[in-house]
Structure 1
Amino acid sequence: MKKYLILDDGTSFVGEAFGDLSTATGELAINSNLNNYQESLTDPLYHNQIITFTQPSIGNIGINPKSYESILTSAKGIVVHQEENISFSHLKNLSLNSFLKERHIPGICQIDTRALQKYVHTHNVKKASIVNNNDAHAFDQLQASVLSNQQIQSVATPKPYLVPGSGITIVVIDLGLRESIVRQLSKLNCNLIVVPWNTSFSEIKNLDPEGVVISSGPGSPEEIENSVIDNILEIQKELPLFGIGLGHELIAIVNGAKIKRLKIGHYGDNHPVKKIITNEIVYPHQAQDYAIVTDSVDTSKLIITYVDLINGTVQGLRSRDYPTFSVQFLPESALGIENNLDLFDEFIESVVAHRRVKYEL
């Protein structure tokens, strides 16, 4: 069955349908990862987005039930060059095609995704639709469509819950929590309390945590309610704080920095990022449409700790006054990249040191 990918500038690509046969509209996210399509499809960061995978062959390792980033699926659609329905992995329980049908996610294959990537980046295309007919009506609907800006509310937990552990108690503020964050903190024996994005500082304090993590999440940091910013400011003053992705951007805002939308978002692990204190080069997984305006960082309050060597974006910050630090990239190891897991160890060390000073006082 023929399927069409139409872009908001009127350009279209023709391919073949797979997955669910419905239509979809969303922002285009060009994903350059070589594998781990399942993690991306279940990642809350991709809420409202149509994911285009530049890797030529997608689907050849099936679906692994241990690799979900969320039980729910946030992506609107998927675009690939070659959809594979044969798996050579012993972990396969479900094909990609069947998974998409179960989750009501439309797919389109036989698209030259490298050419699409080049076109999107050259023409700064943001929005697209997967449709059955390439006609004026479909294009008009795409132009008229308005994507929800209530993205965090759509993907974050509505109620707090506990992930028991025998170690220190950490509150995780869910802005669109990736399960790999929970897995890494659980490996460190943390007793985790996951709370909704709008939980007040007084409610968090009543849980008696020894540290706080602000998760990654979808959408613009500038659309976050001011009450959330106020909460982070209070947390920063009293508890060790670690921000990831959107959490990193909010910590920057709390400390006076400004945010901009990138002309070209980056979803992949092919950008070298320099750790400034050691000059070490790492290749972390990134999924970002927004970045901190470098010149807006108040260096009397914040230290820039990581920087992207391709687009120059700030990838890490550390407070000069509080046990607070953050990274734009995703340090969890779900995508097979484990050279940044020391950030979780660093956070735990910060919590232990803060507790020691607290009890000595």
Structure 2
Amino acid sequence: MKAFLILEDGTVFEGTSIGSTREVISEIVFNTSMTGYLEVLTDPSYAGQAVCMTYPLIGNYGITPDMESGKPWPDGFIVRELSRIPSNFRCQGTIQDFLVKHDIPGIAGIDTRALTKILRDRGTMNGMITTNENYNFEEIQPKLKAYSTGDVVSKVTCDKKKVLPGCGMKVALLDFGAKNNIAKSLNDRGCEVTIYPAHTSAEEILMTNPDGIMLSNGPGDPKDCGPIIDEVRKLYESDTPIFAICLGHQLMALATGADTHKLKYGHRGGNHPVKDLETGKVYISSQNHGYVVDTDKLDPAVATPAFVNVNDGTNEGLKYTGKNIFTVQFHPEACPGPQDSGYLFDRFIGMMGGAQ
């Protein structure tokens, strides 16, 4: 069956329908990872977006147990070539069946390199995936321009509190769309991890007297999280050690008076170099974000830059002045290097008074 990807600037790609055949409008973004498509599909940070994979062959090892959450979150999936006969000893099914099962529409057979160049040159834009060959662009365009991701954090966060038992430090993890490996990285280091829904009050968390607080990754514009930012401010004002990743990093910055802005096309992939400004070392990082913290509007009495993106100079982390708080924009749990920045979890445990 034919399928079409229609961008808000009028560009149209024709390909083959994969997954669900329903019509969807979403923000179109690209990811440069060569492997890990299942981790991408099940990363809650992609809620409200349709993902184009730049690597040309996707699905060759099928569906494996490497899911970062209980379900896939992107609105759509865009690939050059979909492998329909996967081969791997851990394979549990095909991408096609997985997309159908979870009602996610997609398109294959398009020039993903050309699409990526458009998004790099003109910036991230909205688009529609449809199987309707008689579409009318004049009718579609206003809908495309009107689309926004909205409050996607409320969509992806957990419904209720849950605990991963451990015999070490007690960590409260605020779930803004947390990937499974964040809690696992702490749990593997002996921590007892209590995972809280995103809108949990600071008072509820602090009354349990945790040794440390983790603010997770998540989707959408951080400025859409007003009530959460208010609670993060209260956490900042406590003396509890805090470590934050991605959206959590942005929310802490906003809670302390800094600002954020949207990147032209974002950082999404597994090969982004970041430099530790304290040691001068450069690490290969996994990233998935469309917004960054403005260091130009950063008060050094509150926080100072700790990491910088080697490619474009944007902020990749902050160290908070006079506080046991540090935050990073990248994903130290994602192991792209493969474990270049995993030491940050050890640093967090040290901040809590545990053995690193």
TM-score norm. by structure 2 comes to 0.95
Alpha-carbon deviations, 1:186-228, whole Å to 9, x = none?
A: 1011111111111111111122211000000001111112x42
Tell me if the contact between 2:285 and 2:337 (Cα under 8 Å) persists in the aligned partners.
no
Match of 1:344 in 2: 345
Q: Distance in 1 between matches of 2:282 and 2:193?
A: 31
Instruction: Flag the 1:334–1:308 CA change in 2: closer, same or farther, 3 A.
Output: closer
Q: Which residue of 2 is the match for residue 322 of structure 1?
A: 323
Q: In the alignment, is residue 141 of structure 1 matched against residue 162 of structure 2?
A: no
Query: RMSD in angstroms over aligned alpha carbons?
Result: 1.7
Question: How far has the Cα of 1:29 moved from its partner?
Answer: 1.3
* 3-state secondary structure, aligned to 1:283: strand
1:56 corresponds in structure 2 to: 56
Corresponding position of 1:359: none
- CA distance in 1 between counterparts of 2:165 and 2:230 reads 28
Q: Which residue of 1 aligns with 2:256?
A: 255
Bigger mean CA deviation after superposition, 21-30 or 239-248: 21-30
Q: 1:139 to 1:182 in 2, by over 3 A?
A: farther
Amino acid aligned to 2:42:
T
% identical equivalent positions:
33
Instruction: Tell me the CA shift for residue 153 of structure 1.
Output: 0.5
Task: Indicate the residue corresponding to 1:358 in structure 2.
Answer: none
1:62-118 C-alpha deviation (Å, 9 max, x unpaired): 1112x1111122111111011102223111011111111111111211111111100
C-alpha offsets along residues 29-63 of structure 1, whole Å, 9 cap, x if unaligned?
A: 10000010001111100001110000010000111
Gap change, CA 1:335 and 1:93, over 3 Å in 2: farther
Say if 2:148 is the partner of 1:150. no
Distance in 2 of aligned mates of 1:339 and 1:137: 49
Instruction: Measure, in 2, the Cα distance between the counterparts of 1:17 and 1:253.
Output: 41
Give structure 1 regions of 4+ aligned residues with deviation exceeding 2 angstroms.
133-143, 145-148, 227-231, 333-337
SS state of the match for residue 284, structure 1? strand
Larger deviation, residues 142-151 vs 85-94: 142-151
* Residues 139/71 of structure 1: CA separation in 2 closer, same or farther (3 Å cut): farther
How far off its partner does 1:305 sit?
0.9
Contact 2:286/2:334, CA 8 A, preserved across alignment: no
* C-alpha distance 279-139 of structure 1, shift in aligned 2 (>3 A): farther
In the TM superposition, 1:96-115 aligns within 5 A as 96-115=95-114
CA distance in 2, matches of 1:317, 1:192: 23
Where does residue 19 of structure 1 map in the other structure? 19
SS in 1 for 2:185: helix
Q: Which residue of 1 aligns with 2:168?
A: 167
Q: Give secondary structure in 2 for the equivalent of 1:272.
A: strand
Contact 2:263 2:292 in 1 (8 A): yes
Deviates more, 1:76-85 or 1:137-146: 137-146
Matched, 1:71 2:70: yes
Give the direction of change, closer, same or farther, for the CA distance of 1:254–1:125 in structure 2 (3 Å limit). Answer: closer
- Asked if structure 2 preserves the Cα contact closer than 8 Å seen for 1:268 and 1:285, the reply is yes
Secondary structure of the equivalent of 1:352?
A: coil
How high is the TM-score relative to the length of structure 1?
0.93
Write out per-residue CA displacement over residues 310-359 of structure 1, whole angstroms, 9 at most, x where no aligned residue.
Answer: 12111011111110000001111355631110000000000016x9xxxx
Could you tell me which runs of 5 or more consecutive residues in structure 2 were left unpaired when the two chains were aligned: none
